[in-house]
Amino acid sequence: MKNVSIIGLLIFGLIFQNCKNNEKQFSSVSSDKTETSKITAASKVSEKELDSTSQEWVIPVNYQRMKNPTYATNENLIIGKALYTKHCKSCHGITGKGDGPNAGEFDSKIGDFSSAEFQLQSEGTIFYKSYVGQHDMPNNEKEIPSPKDMWFIVNHIKTFEK
């Protein structure tokens, strides 16, 4: 009988300990979900911008503050120009003025990358507009799967400044 009591107490202790561990895990998961919700909410907070075509762009704050991880070295600019020529030139034109051969297919006016207004935007904003897209600007995440390549294009676009 004494052995049964000890075994019963051990089982009760294990069950009780397991319940306490589950409580801690739930608390930890709940805390993680709260942190994730805060991060998600922060990235959804955005600033509205108007581009030169008066279309309203909504740029998430995390993109506005994003820093270009690449440098505008000669080699990177050559890569950026080649990628721009392949993916962007048909609409935006060779000098980024929005006068490419396909530009007339859109209802909206394609912005001028060389304008002071455009060039004043953060590189993160230009990255977002070019990579994620909105309005007539398509999403390029499948066409240009490497974000690093998109940053090379941003470096090239920054050379269009008047």
Domain boundary among 26, 42, 58: 42
CATH classification at residue 142: 1.10.760.10
89 and 143, same domain (yes or no): yes
Tens-digit pLDDT profile for residues 64-88? 999 999 999 999 999 999 999 999 9
> What pLDDT, in 10s, does the model give residues 130-153?
999 998 899 999 999 999 999 999
Does the pTM surpass 0.85? The reply is: no
**Does residue 30 register a pLDDT over 50?**
no
**Which residues form the domain of 1?**
1-42
d(CA 143, CA 4): 69
Q: Are residues 66 and 128 in the same domain?
A: yes
Least confident of 10-14, 18-22, 64-68, 118-122: 18-22
Same domain, 32 and 57: no
The mean pLDDT value for 17-38 works out to 40
Clarify whether residues 16 and 77 are in a common domain.
Answer: no
Please name the amino acid found at residue 24: K
Residues 52 and 35 in one domain: no
Is the domain of 7 the same as that of 49? no
Task: Give 95-111 pLDDT, tens digit per residue.
Answer: 999 999 999 998 888 88
For residues 109 and 134, state if they share a domain. Answer: yes
Q: Which of 76, 122, 118 is nearest to 97 (CA)?
A: 118
- d(Cα 141, Cα 67) in Å, to the nearest integer? 18
Q: How many structural domains does the chain have?
A: 2
Residues 57 and 118 in one domain: yes
